[in-house]
Chain A
Amino acid sequence: MRKSPIALTVNGRTREAWVWPHQTLLQVLRDVLGATEVKYGCGEGVCSTCTVLMDGESINSCLMFAVQAAGRSVTTVKGLAQGEELHPLQESFLAHDAAQCGFCTPGMLLIAHEFIGRHPQPSREEIREALAGNLCRCTGYTKIIDAVESFAMDRKDPASTPPAGAAPR
């Protein structure tokens, strides 16, 4: 067993790391690359707070080994905002007080963003189902669903939502 070097893109920046084969992408993002906005909840694919986008598609970063991410492009929740300017979905979370302790928020934001990108006119029921895999232990689901629903309804033009991952901003 030995470490090997990998290079990957995180929120548009190329990063390099030496990783053990058994280190998950989540461990390396947090402990080696300092991307602590990606949260460690359960480590077994149940809670989804470690959600990131891999080449634009959501994955649980605890269920992928870091060596497998070599050459790939990772977007964390920080990739949603443009510098200091929050993404409209983040603004909607703020406006609805959708974060209590905030631990599930990174995963909630990334999944809601991906979901609305694919389903621009969702029903409230569809939003609930899309977020069902993301656990909030404050059980503040109602406000989270309100925030996502309001964001979806406020968007006049579906094309105006910037894609995450494909072109990190």
Chain B
Amino acid sequence: MYPAPFEYVKAAAWHDAVDLLKEHGDDARVLAGGQSLVPMMSLRLASPTHVVDVNDIDGGTIRERNGTVEIPALARHAELERSPVLASVCPLLAEAAGLIGNVRVRHRGTLGGSLAHGDPSAELPCALLALEGTVRALGPEGERRIRAGSFFRSYFTTSLAPSEVVVAVEVPAARDRSGAAFVEFANRAGDFAIVGVAAVVHLDDSDGCRGVRLTAGGISDRPVDLSEPAAALLGQPPNEALIADVAGAVSESSDPRGDDRATPEYRRQLVGVLTKRALHRAWRRAAGAEP
């Protein structure tokens, strides 16, 4: 249970990291928080010849500008969880980050690392998809912007090219009269979630539902957008009965995978229960009825 030997290289800037990845190809791995990579190396599931440490790169701070929240890739989960900026303009990411692993993992793990790792049951990819966020990736050809909807491809697979790195993430700032919630179910506190659900509800001036976003993690090879079946909420003032109906329809329309932790039927049941909770909480928050 020890990592195999490797060459350790520190990148001083993102373009250095790209150069190093280009030079060493598939044998190189980016080391950010190391909370997924290092266990994989200890289990010998990964044995890179070169490890490119990006922790010393100055990526800036979390900030909001003209309705867009910009978050550096190296923001740690604990930073997202405690950020006053996110608390006011992107509470969904803060709530999702607070559910990741345990406190030690949150002290080290990074936003960019979690997205690039592409675990289909992870919280941040699911939240980013709900927020219709954008990943900013730097590669040999320069920087490009990838929408969350096309970033996650399959199990632990993203649309990042081999020598591209995530440098930052952008999400639209939460609008007035909108509320968001992230809820999940895990067998043990801090364990990987079996299913996680993110919801954003936007109300109009007469308390009708003006917009809804709903995504789920843990049910497929990547986070899944369930906004379409949830659109039955649109135009109506949400209430508990309506939300229960919508959650039932969302659960029906979902097509979860099964594995050694849960059957497809159990996951479908969880999608319904968690959707109900997430929509309910997001709606109450949009209406200012709960914090």
Contact = CB atoms under 8 A, between A and B. Distances in A.
Interface of A: 1, 20-22, 24, 27, 42-46, 48, 51, 54, 57-60, 62-65, 67-68, 111, 114-115, 128-130, 132-133
A57 B38 contact: no
B3 A68 contact: no
A1 B4 CA distance: 11
17 contacts: A1-B7, A21-B51, A22-B8, A24-B2, A27-B2, A43-B2, A44-B1, A44-B42, A45-B38, A45-B104, A64-B34, A64-B108, A65-B8, A68-B55, A114-B103, A115-B103, A133-B103
A32 to B, nearest CB: 14
B39 interface: yes
Contact of A59 (B1, B6, B107): B107
A50 to B, nearest CB: 9
Given A1-B6, A24-B2, A133-B104, A63 B51 contact: no
Contacts of A67: 8, 53
Contacts of A57: 78, 107
A25 to B, nearest CB: 10
B105 to A, nearest CB: 7
B238 interface: no
B43 A22 contact: no
**Contact-size category for B:** 20 to 34
Interface in B103-131: 103-105, 107-108
B101 interface: yes
Given A45-B105, A48-B104, A65-B34, 17 more contacts: A1-B5, A1-B6, A22-B4, A44-B39, A45-B38, A45-B39, A57-B78, A59-B104, A63-B38, A63-B39, A63-B104, A63-B108, A64-B38, A65-B31, A132-B190, A133-B105, A133-B190
Interface in B34-48: 34-35, 38-39, 42-43
Contacts of A22: 2-6, 8
A58 B53 CA distance: 20
B150 interface: no
